[in-house]
Every structure is written in structure tokens, then in C-alpha cells.
Amino acid sequence: MKTEKIYLELTKTQKEFIDATADEVLFGGAAGGGKSYGQLVDALLYALKYPESRQLILRKTYPELEHSLILVSLKFYPKSICKYSSTSRKWHFINGSVIEFGYCAARTDVIRYQGAEYDVVRFDELTHFSEEQYTYLISRVRGVNPYPKMVKSSTNPGGIGHNWVKQRFIDGYEPNKIHTDSQSGAKRLFIPSFVQDNVFLMNADADYINRLMQLPENERKALLYGEWDIFDGQVFTEWKNSSLGSRTRQWSHVIEPFDIPKEWRRYRTFDFGYSKPFAVSWYAVDHDGRAYNYRELYGCTGTPDVGVKWTAQKIADEIRSIEENEISNQPIIGIADPAIWNSTGSVDGSIADMMEKRGVYFEKGNHDRLAGKMQVHYRLAFDDDGLPMIYFFNTCKNMIRTLPQLRYDPVRPEDVDTGQEDHLYDALKYFLMSNPIAVRENKTEKPKEFNPLSTDKIAAYPRFIV
């Protein structure tokens, strides 16, 4: 039997997606990164490698399937080894493998896959799906064969599923590095993609970036730069976590931890909570007045905005235990929500009284909400060199998770919606109001230049032969 060779041109990131073996893989970021094509090539190679395998490729609606994935697959899937049925929306391979196209327009559409078994489920534009749909369809990945079982997704930022996708794959995790979920044990991987990675698109349509530059700011940042920290209604649009804790301090608020010099001023801020989380944050200020959030103690159960119900005494004891490891005789200024001085009706006095008896002291913070919010804006703003006036150690995971998610109050459009998980944000404001800075205009990072005449990138993207 004659062997047929299939010539496939892939970018470096597409090849990384195909080679990925984590239980759950997300390939995404900016528009034009070749995500959908990478999905189709990966599905084709899997079908050929594993006889009688079954895969499901999903889009939100059937028209989206028909006009994108199905149409593209018809152009390059080899008809000599597989045939497409428009009735069943399936590719049938001569080795018995099947690639099925499906959609989940409504929440209950997942029921159509009840009882089905797939080796791989693939979501194209994952942020268009709800977390409930995603987790239900994960349960369809099963089978008695020894083939690798995976969920492989591709997407741009934005859409109804933006926040849950970001929390599952992006927040606090280094890209291109597998991390293990502490609860399920699932191995997850995020592979970023950018339009500049897609040399084939850039050579064919060098003006594509210019068209993306014409989009509104938030949409431009999401689709051109692949920024996950931008969405409609977001309060702190200055936020950037692009380096995810890299050693560079340009154009990112998140950095790797370092030893705080002894001579820097240190602060501890506190926002009390019981059924809601309490928040304790530690900050240091360098000689230029730049602040660093170097530690946090967050009283959350692991379920967002659900408190651990610690007493004031227990919180104080934990703070004392933590600060015993600080440099000896290093003074720490405590600043807290003025509400902790209110009477609790207890013989032990106010929350502030209870903590003082444990040797933890605070000054009353300034609770001016709008002035505090503006100080956060000024601190987060980047200068022309890409440097902000506040950084967050990548170990402060709850601040990194909650601060960029804050939305405006629909009734008071100048203020943050207080119904959100804003406890660490409130603690941050108490610190900043005690260390105010002048107004700063936020600068934005310039896009990377693409030179269509350069051969450097082309050499990095070989032609793969199957």
C-alpha cells in the first residue's frame, strides 16, 4: 500500500499546541495567532495516529462551525483517507477514526452528548462557553482504549466565559508550563499565541495589525496583545500581568519575590471579615516611593468571597506568627478599616481592642472611597519606561486574582461595586491613602513591529511532513 505524505505548514506555537500532552490545554490570546487551524491539524494528526479514536470539536453555534472549522477542514483534509458527511457533521477515516463537529448554543445543549465517549474534546473559542458546559463535557472524555485523553481548547480573551477561563488557566500560572490543579489533580497548560507569531498571515496580510489598531481600546488590547486583564466595565484597566512574575519589571505589575531591604518602610493593612474573607496585606516602600505588595494573608475558604470565619484573636495570632519571621526590630506600621474600632457588644471590646491585646496594633485608615480609588489608578499607571509605582509579588495570588476583576457600580458609576470580592482592594486603599502620590497619566506599551522582509521568523517555522 502506497504511503501518502501530507505537507502541513505550522507556526512554532501551533506545533507546541499539537505536542502538548496535559489533561487540559488552552491555546490562545491575540487574534490571528492561527488557533483554529492548529486545532484542525492537531485533530487530523490524532485521528491518523490512533485508529478508531473519537474526537469532538465544538463551537457555540452551528453557523460558526459551518463558516469556519468545517469550511477550513474541507480545504486541506486529505479526501483519499477520510470523507466528510454533511448530514452527521463527521469526518470518517479509513482507519476507523471519527472527528465530529458539534455546538452548544444553549446551556442545555450539552445533554445531546449524554452517553457519548470521546478521546479528545476540543473547544474553539472557549470563552464563548459557560464553565458548566465545559465541566460537563469533560465528563465525556473517557474510554477503555489506551489513547491519551485530553481537552484541548483555543480562544481569544473576552466573551461570557472570560473570567472562569482566566481563573482556570491564566491567573497566577506561568505560560508554557504545566501546572497541577490542587483539587482535581488535572494537569493544565496555557500556550499564548500572538498575531506576530503567525508569519504566514503576516506575509499574506501585513496590514492586519493596522486594522486591529483601529479597534476600541479594550478590544484592541485583547485581540492585538492578547491581554486577559481587560473586559467591559473593568475599573483598573491599567492592570497588566503580562510577564506573570518574570524578572523584568517593565509593563507588568506582577514580579518575582526578592528580599526586602531592611531600610525600606513597611506597612500592614487590614480589612476585617468573618463570613466574608478578611484581608491582611504587607507593603514595602523603596527610596523612590514605589510600593511593593510582598505578602498577603487572605481568609478565604478557596471558594471565591467565602470567609473562613476566624475570630479577631485568631487573625491577630496568625499575624504575630508571620511577623516574627521579619527582620528583627523592623517596625511595621499597621493601618486598618476604621470600622474595627466600632463596638461589638462583647466584653472583649472592639475588634481593634481584641487585636491589641494580642500585640497587633493599627492606625485608623482613610476610608474615602473615590480618593482611594484614584490613588490605585495613579499607582498602577505606567510611565514611558513601562514602570508603575506599585508592584505585586507573584505570591500574592488573591490580590492578583481579585483586583483586575473589579467592576464599576451600576448605581454609582464612579465607584467600585462593593458587592464584589473587594476586601484586598479595600486594604490596598488604606495603605495608599497613607502614602498618596500625585496624578500620573498611564502610558501604553507600543506593539511589536513586524518586518515582512525578515527571514529570521520564517526559518523558525519549518514545514512538517506527516
Does one domain contain both 274 and 174? Answer: no
- Whether residue 57 is contained in a domain is answered as yes
Q: In sequence order, what E strands does 332-376 have? A: 332-336, 363-364
What gap in Å lies between CA 277 and CA 327, rounded to an integer?
28
The band of 464, judged by pLDDT with boundaries at 50, 70 and 90, is very low
- Whether residue 108 is contained in a domain is answered as yes
Does one domain contain both 158 and 209? Answer: yes
Say if residue 136's pLDDT is above 60: yes
Three-class DSSP category at 192: strand
- Whether residue 453 is contained in a domain is answered as no
Residue 250: how many other CB atoms lie within 10 Å? 14
Number of structural domains the chain divides into: 2
Does one domain contain both 186 and 293? Answer: no
- Comparison of pLDDT for 102 and 127, the residue scoring more: 102
- Whether residue 234 is contained in a domain is answered as no
Does one domain contain both 275 and 422? Answer: yes
Does one domain contain both 300 and 193? Answer: no
- Whether residue 109 is contained in a domain is answered as yes
The stretch 402-417 carries a mean pLDDT of 88
Range with the poorest average pLDDT among 156-160, 343-347, 395-399: 156-160
Does one domain contain both 40 and 174? Answer: yes
Say if residue 412's pLDDT is above 80: yes
- Whether residue 239 is contained in a domain is answered as no
What's the pLDDT at 249? 78
Say if residue 196's pLDDT is above 80: no
- Whether residue 399 is contained in a domain is answered as yes
Does one domain contain both 153 and 259? Answer: no
Does one domain contain both 206 and 354? Answer: no
Does one domain contain both 259 and 113? Answer: no
- Whether residue 244 is contained in a domain is answered as no
What's the pLDDT at 174? 86
Residues 6+ apart with CB under 8 A from 457: 199
- What is the percent of the chain with per-residue pLDDT over 70, rounded to a whole number? 83
What gap in Å lies between CA 131 and CA 60, rounded to an integer?
13
The residue from 160, 195, 216 where one domain ends is: 216
Does one domain contain both 42 and 174? Answer: yes
Residue type, 322: I
Q: Please tell me whether the overall predicted TM-score, pTM, comes out greater than 0.75 for this model.
A: no
Its domain, for residue 27, covers 7-216
Please provide residue 73's backbone torsions phi and psi, each rounded to the nearest 5 degrees.
-60, -35
